[in-house]
Chains A and B, each alone.
Chain A
Amino acid sequence: MQNSKNNFSASMKKITKSKWLSSFSATLLAISLGLIFGLIVMVVASPTDSFSGFGMMLFGGFSRLGNVFYFATPILMTGLSVGFAFKMGLFNIGASGQYTMGLFFALYVGIMFNLPSGIHWIVCIIAGLIGGMIWGFIPGLLKSLMNVNEVITSIMTNYIGMYLVDMLIRNNGKMFVSSKARTAYIPATAQLPSLGVTDSNVNIAIILATLIAIILYIVLYKTTFGYELMATGHNKHASHYAGINYKRNTILTMVIAGGLSGLGGAFAILAPSNIPGSSMTYEPINIIAANGFNGIAVALLGNSHPIGIIFSSLFISHIQRGGTRASLFGYKPEIIDVVIAVIIYFSAFALVMSSAIGVVIKKRKERKAEAVNTVKEIEEA
Chain B
Amino acid sequence: MDYVIEMLNITKAFPGIIANDDVTLRLRKGEIHALLGENGAGKSTLMSILFGLHQADKGEIKKNGKVVEINNPNDANNLGIGMVHQHFQLVEIFTVLENIILGVEPNKYGFLQKKEAREKLLKLSENYGLQIDLDALIEDIPVGMQQRVEILKMLYRDNEILIFDEPTAVLTPQEIEELMNIMRGFAKEGKSILFITHKLNEIMAVADRCTVLQKGKWKGTVDIKETTKEELSWMMVGRDVKFSVEKESPKIGNVVLSVENVTVKSKESAQDVVKDVSFNVRAGEIVCIAGVEGNGQTELINVITGLEKVSRGKISLNETDITRMSIRNRSKLGISHIPEDRHKHGLVLDYSLEKNLVLQRYWQEGFQKKGFIKKNVVRNYATELISKYDIRSGEGPKTIVRGMSGGNQQKAIIARKLDKECELLVAVQPTRGLDVGAIEFIHERIVNTRDKGKAVLLMSLELDEVMNLSDRILVIYEGEIVGELNPKTTSVEELGLYMAGSKKDKREGDEHAKLKK
Name the segment of A4-12, A132-140, A207-215, A238-246 touching the other chain: A238-246
Picked from A227, A237, A364, the residue with its CB within 8 Å of the CB of B362 is A227
Picked from A222, A224, A243, A371, the residue with its CB within 8 Å of the CB of B326 is A243
0/1 interface trace, chain A 226-243, chain B, CB 8 Å (1 if under): 010011001101111111
CA distance A223 to B16 in the complex (A): 29
Q: Most chain-B Cβ atoms within 10 A of its Cβ — which of A230, A240, A368, A374? A: A374
CA distance A375 to B9 in the complex (A): 14
Find out whether the CB atom of A374 lies under 8 angstroms from the CB atom of B13: yes
CB distance from A343 to the nearest CB of B (A): 30
Given contacts A234-B351, A241-B307, A371-B57, contact A224 B368 (CB under 8 A): yes
B18 at the interface (CB under 8 A from A): yes
From 241 to 276 in chain B, residues with beta carbon under 8 angstroms from any chain A beta carbon are none
A17 at the interface (CB under 8 A from B): yes
Find out whether the CB atom of B13 lies under 8 angstroms from the CB atom of A222: no
Contacts of A245 in B (CB 8 A): 326, 328
CA distance A206 to B331 in the complex (A): 45
Given contacts A231-B351, A243-B328, A371-B57, contact A222 B360 (CB under 8 A): no
Instruction: List the A residue with the shortest CB-CB distance to B331.
Output: A243
B327 at the interface (CB under 8 A from A): yes
Find out whether the CB atom of A240 lies under 8 angstroms from the CB atom of B11: no
Contacts of A230 in B (CB 8 A): 351
CA distance A211 to B14 in the complex (A): 38
A283 at the interface (CB under 8 A from B): no
B344 at the interface (CB under 8 A from A): yes
Contacts of B12 in A (CB 8 A): 371
From 348 to 363 in chain B, residues with beta carbon under 8 angstroms from any chain A beta carbon are 348-351, 355, 359-360, 362-363
0/1 interface trace, chain B 366-388, chain A, CB 8 Å (1 if under): 00100111010000000000000
Instruction: List the B residue with the shortest CB-CB distance to A225.
Output: B371
CA distance A372 to B55 in the complex (A): 12
Find out whether the CB atom of B14 lies under 8 angstroms from the CB atom of A371: yes
A119 at the interface (CB under 8 A from B): no
**Total contacting residues, chain A, CB less than 8 A:** 27
A370 at the interface (CB under 8 A from B): yes
Instruction: List the A residue with the shortest CB-CB distance to B364.
Output: A224
CA distance A235 to B15 in the complex (A): 25
0/1 interface trace, chain B 317-332, chain A, CB 8 Å (1 if under): 0000000001110010
CA distance A374 to B17 in the complex (A): 7
CB distance from A278 to the nearest CB of B (A): 39
A378 at the interface (CB under 8 A from B): yes
Find out whether the CB atom of B351 lies under 8 angstroms from the CB atom of A243: no
Instruction: List the A residue with the shortest CB-CB distance to B402.
Output: A234
CA distance A236 to B209 in the complex (A): 43
CB distance from A354 to the nearest CB of B (A): 16
Contact residues of A: prevailing secondary structure = helix
Find out whether the CB atom of B14 lies under 8 angstroms from the CB atom of A227: no
B346 at the interface (CB under 8 A from A): yes
Contacts of A378 in B (CB 8 A): 13, 18
B347 at the interface (CB under 8 A from A): yes
Find out whether the CB atom of B349 lies under 8 angstroms from the CB atom of A235: yes
Given contacts A223-B372, A378-B18, contact A372 B13 (CB under 8 A): yes
B40 at the interface (CB under 8 A from A): no
B488 at the interface (CB under 8 A from A): no
Given contacts A235-B348, A235-B349, contact A242 B360 (CB under 8 A): yes
Find out whether the CB atom of A224 lies under 8 angstroms from the CB atom of B363: yes
Find out whether the CB atom of B327 lies under 8 angstroms from the CB atom of A240: yes
0/1 interface trace, chain A 147-189, chain B, CB 8 Å (1 if under): 0000000000000000000000000000000000000000000
CA distance A225 to B362 in the complex (A): 10
Contacts of B506 in A (CB 8 A): none
Q: Most chain-A Cβ atoms within 10 A of its Cβ — which of B307, B339, B345, B349? A: B345
Instruction: List the A residue with the shortest CB-CB distance to B350.
Output: A234
CA distance A17 to B398 in the complex (A): 14
Find out whether the CB atom of B328 lies under 8 angstroms from the CB atom of A375: no
Contacts of B371 in A (CB 8 A): 223-225
Contacts of A374 in B (CB 8 A): 13-18
Find out whether the CB atom of A235 lies under 8 angstroms from the CB atom of B373: no
Find out whether the CB atom of A239 lies under 8 angstroms from the CB atom of B57: no
0/1 interface trace, chain B 1-36, chain A, CB 8 Å (1 if under): 000000000011111111000000000000000000
Given contacts A238-B345, A243-B328, contact A224 B373 (CB under 8 A): yes
0/1 interface trace, chain A 359-381, chain B, CB 8 Å (1 if under): 00000100010111011001000
Find out whether the CB atom of A241 lies under 8 angstroms from the CB atom of B345: yes
Instruction: List the A residue with the shortest CB-CB distance to B368.
Output: A224
Contacts of B307 in A (CB 8 A): 240-241
Q: Most chain-B Cβ atoms within 10 A of its Cβ — which of A230, A231, A235, A372? A: A235
Picked from B348, B349, B363, the residue with its CB within 8 Å of the CB of A239 is B348
CA distance A222 to B362 in the complex (A): 12
Contacts of B349 in A (CB 8 A): 234-235
Instruction: List the B residue with the shortest CB-CB distance to A218.
Output: B372
Picked from A225, A238, A243, the residue with its CB within 8 Å of the CB of B348 is A238
Given contacts A224-B362, A242-B359, A374-B15, contact A235 B368 (CB under 8 A): no
CA distance A217 to B74 in the complex (A): 42
Find out whether the CB atom of B373 lies under 8 angstroms from the CB atom of A227: yes
0/1 interface trace, chain B 39-65, chain A, CB 8 Å (1 if under): 000000000000000010100000000
CA distance A232 to B13 in the complex (A): 31
Find out whether the CB atom of A371 lies under 8 angstroms from the CB atom of B346: no
Find out whether the CB atom of A375 lies under 8 angstroms from the CB atom of B13: yes
Cβ contacts A to B, 25 pairs, < 8 Å: A224-B363, A224-B368, A225-B371, A227-B362, A227-B373, A231-B348, A231-B351, A231-B359, A234-B348, A235-B348, A235-B350, A238-B359, A241-B307, A241-B337, A241-B345, A242-B360, A243-B326, A243-B328, A243-B331, A368-B55, A371-B14, A372-B13, A374-B18, A375-B11, A375-B18
Residues on A facing B (Cβ under 8 Å): 17, 222-225, 227, 230-231, 234-235, 237-245, 364, 368, 370-372, 374-375, 378
Residues on B facing A (Cβ under 8 Å): 11-18, 55, 57, 307, 326-328, 331, 337, 339, 344-351, 355, 359-360, 362-363, 368, 371-373, 375
Given contacts A234-B348, A374-B18, 19 further A-B contacts (CB under 8 A): A223-B373, A224-B362, A227-B355, A234-B349, A235-B344, A237-B345, A238-B345, A240-B307, A241-B307, A243-B360, A364-B55, A368-B57, A370-B15, A371-B13, A371-B57, A374-B17, A375-B57, A378-B13, A378-B18
